[in-house]
Amino acid sequence: MSRPLETTLTAQDRRQLKERGISLRTLDHQLATFQRGIPFAKLKRPCRLDDGILPLGSLDLPAVIQDFERARAAGRITKFVPASGGGTRMFKSLEAACLQRETGRLTPTDQLKQFFSGLPKFAFYHDLKNTLLRQGHQLDQLIAEKKYQPVTDALLNSLNYAKLPKGLIAFHRYADTTRTPIEEHLVEAADYVQDDKDRARVHFTVSLDHQRAIQEHIEQARQKLVQGAATWIIDCSIQKPSTDTVAVTMDNRPFRDSHGNLLFRPGGHGALLSNLHELHGDVVFIKNIDNVMPDHLKETSSKYQKILGGLLVGLQDTLFSFLTRLESGTVSSATLERITEWTGHALAMTLPDAWSTYANAQKTQWLFKRLNRPIRVCGMVSNVNSPGGGPFWIQGEDGTTSLQIVESSQVDLDSPTQRAIVTSSTHFNPVDLVCGVRDYRGNPFNLYHFVDSDTGFIAKKSYEGRELKALELPGLWNGGMAKWHSVFVEVPRRTFNPVKTVLDLLLPEHQPPERP
C-alpha cells in the first residue's frame, strides 16, 4: 500500500504515531476512508419474530438451561462490561441549570422539580446530605427554601458526580447500604457466571483517567459484598491509544491543532474489539455498565442470560461437530445437505447462487471456511421509542444475506425505501449478547479477521473553534462483529433497564420494592 503522506509527516508526527502505537499503514487507511467515505448498509428488511428473531416459545428451555449449566460449571463463562462511560450525560440537565445562577437560586424546570422532589429516593441522598452538612448546610432546609444551587454544587463538584464514571455512582439503595453498577455486576456474576469451583470471572473496560479509582473500588467491593462462596476473578483493561483515529479537516487533510500537532480522537466502542480479543475468553457475556437491576429483579435478568448462553453453547455443539466432519475432507452429499439445511435454519446462512454447480470438494471447502467463525446470540427487545442498534437482514455484495445489528448512522435515511425499512422495525438490541470466541478446536479466534472494515461512522465535530471530521471504528456489536454467526432471540423488555439520565434512577425498576 502506498504511503503518500510519508514524506509530509514531521518528526513530531512520527513521535505521536509511535507513542500511540499507530502504524503508517493504519494512518493511511484512515485517511483513505475519509476520502472515499463509508458506504451505507443495504437493508433488505427488518428482522421480526420468526423472520430473523427467535421467539422464546420456539426453544426447549429446560434443554437450553442444561447446556448453559454445563458450560458454567466448567468455568467457560466470562462477563465483559464496557465501563469507561462517564456520568456527564446523566447530570446534563443539572449542569445546564447550574449555569442559570440568579442570586443563588436556580430557575426550576420540570426536570429539576422532578429531581428535587425525588431527592430522598436516590441512593446517593445520604452522601449528599452528609457532604452538605460538612459545608454547614442542612439539605432539607435548602430544599424547603428552594436554594438549589448549593445542592447541585455539592453533588456535581464536591461528590464529583459530573466527572465520575457511571460505574462509581451509587445507583441502588438497600436496607443498610448502597451499590454502584460495578458492585451490581459483581453480584450478577456470582449468580450466573460462578463455576463449580466458585470462581466468577468479570472483565471491566475502563478509562485510563479512572483506572486507579475503579480498581480501588473493586477491592473495596470484594470486602463489602458477600455472595455465597464466590471468588471473583476480576481484571480491567483500558481503551488502547492505538485504537484512536486521526481527525481531518473538512477537505480531508490531517487536522492540526494550534501547536501544529496531529489531532487524534477515541475510535468509539468499536475500539473495544481489541480488549475483547486480548481477553482470550470462551463464552463471553457483554452487557453495558448502566444496565443493572437491584436484587429483587435479578432473578429475571439471570434467567434470560442463562437462556442466551445456553442457546449459544447448544449451537456450538452442533457447529463444532460439523466442522470436525468437514475438516476430514471426505463428506457425503447427504451430509453436506444436512449441514446446509441446519445452517440455513439455525444460523440464517444463505448459499452462493452458483452452489448447485459446486462439486462436493468445493462445497466442503466453502462450508468449512464459512462456518469456522465466532458466534453470538443477541437478546432483542421490542422497540418503544428506544435508541439502539436494530436487527436487520442485510444484502451482501456477493448476493448472500446475513443478520446484522445496524445503527441509524449506517443507513441512508434520505432513501425512502431504506427509511421505510427502519421505521417498520419492531425490535432493537440493548447491548445484551453472549459471544463464542473460540473455535472448534478450543483455540481463540483472531477477532480482527471478522470485522467489516467498510463500516463505521464519520461525524462532524469541532476543536479550538474549527470544524473537523472524526472517524469512529466499526462498532463492537455492529461492523466489529459483521462476519460472525448471529442469532437473534426476543427477550422481555423488563430485562433492559439502562440509566441514561439521573431521573431514570427514580423509575420503579431502580427503586427498592414497595413494602406490603
For every one of its 516 residues, what pLDDT tens digit does the chain have, with 9 covering 90 and above?
A: 444 555 588 999 999 999 999 999 999 999 999 999 999 999 999 999 999 999 999 999 999 999 999 999 999 999 999 998 887 889 887 877 666 554 445 556 778 888 999 999 999 999 999 999 999 999 999 988 888 889 999 999 999 998 899 999 999 999 999 999 999 999 999 999 999 999 999 999 999 889 999 999 999 998 888 766 679 999 999 989 999 999 999 999 999 999 999 999 999 889 999 999 999 999 999 999 999 999 999 999 999 999 999 999 999 999 999 999 999 888 999 999 999 999 999 999 999 888 999 999 999 999 999 999 999 999 999 987 665 679 999 987 777 789 999 988 889 999 999 999 998 999 998 889 999 999 999 999 999 999 998 888 898 999 999 999 999 999 999 999 999 999 999 999 999 999 999 999 999 999 998 765
Tens of pLDDT along 56-69?
Answer: 999 999 999 999 99
**285 assigned to some structural domain:** no
Which residue, among 74, 296, 84, 75, has the nearest Cα to 175 in the 3D structure? 296
| Residue 140 is assigned to a structural domain of this protein | yes
**Do residues 436 and 374 make contact, with C-beta atoms less than 8 angstroms apart?**
yes
256 DSSP assignment:
B
**DSSP-assigned letter for residue 157:** I
Look at the block and give the residue holding cell 470544524: 467
Residue written as grid cell 421490542: 382
Dihedral of the CA atoms 115, 117, 122, 128 (nearest 10)?
80
Q: Which among 143, 96, 104 has a CA at the least distance from the CA of 120?
A: 143
What is the spatial distance between Cα 431 and Cα 440, in angstroms, rounded to a whole number?
26
* pLDDT for position 385: 66
Query: Are 195 and 74 within 8 A, CB to CB?
Result: yes
The pLDDT value given to residue 121:
96
- The 3-class secondary structure across 397-412, one letter per residue, is CCCCEEEEEECHHHCC
Please give the pLDDT value at position 111.
81
Place of cell 429475571: 300
In a domain, 267, yes or no: no
Cell of 281: 475468553
CA distance 154 to 161: 9
In this structure, what C-alpha cell is assigned to residue 298? 435479578
Is the torsion defined by CA of 178, 180, 184, 186 positive or negative?
A: negative
**Calpha distance 312→307 (Å, rounded):** 9
Q: Parallel, antiparallel, or unpaired: how do β-strands 375-382 and 485-490 relate?
A: parallel
The C-alpha cell at 331 is 463428506
- For 455, other C-beta atoms within 10 Å of its C-beta total 24
The sign of the torsion formed by the CA atoms of 251, 257, 260, 264 equals: negative
Confirm if 391 and 52 have CB atoms less than 8 A apart.
yes
- Please say whether the dihedral angle defined by the alpha carbons of residues 418, 248, 454 and 275, taken in this order, is positive or negative: negative
Q: Is residue 94 part of a domain?
A: yes
Distance of alpha carbon 207 from alpha carbon 211, whole angstroms? 6
Q: Evaluate whether residue 477 is within a structural domain.
A: no
pLDDT in tens, 305-351: 999 999 999 999 999 999 999 998 889 999 999 999 999 999 999 99
The answer to whether residue 107 is domain-embedded is yes
- pLDDT for 149 equals 85
Quick one: CA torsion of 329, 332, 336, 342, rounded to 10 degrees?
-110
pLDDT in tens, 213-235: 999 999 999 888 876 667 999 99
Distance CA 56, CA 480 (A): 27
Q: Any idea what DSSP says for residue 389? A: B
Number of domains in the chain: 1
What do you get for the CA distance between the two ends of the chain, in Å?
70
Place of cell 492505538: 242
Amino acid identity of 56?
Answer: L
pTM of the model: 0.92
Alpha carbon 437 to its chain's center: 16
Q: Range of 115's domain?
A: 89-163
* Orientation angle between helical segments 333-346 and 295-327, nearest 10 degrees: 160
CA distance 473 to 478: 10
Note the Cα 424 to chain centre separation in Å.
24
Residue 384: CB atoms within 10 Å: 7
The Cα 184–Cα 224 span in angstroms is 12
Distance from C-alpha of 221 to C-alpha of 468, rounded to nearest angstrom = 42
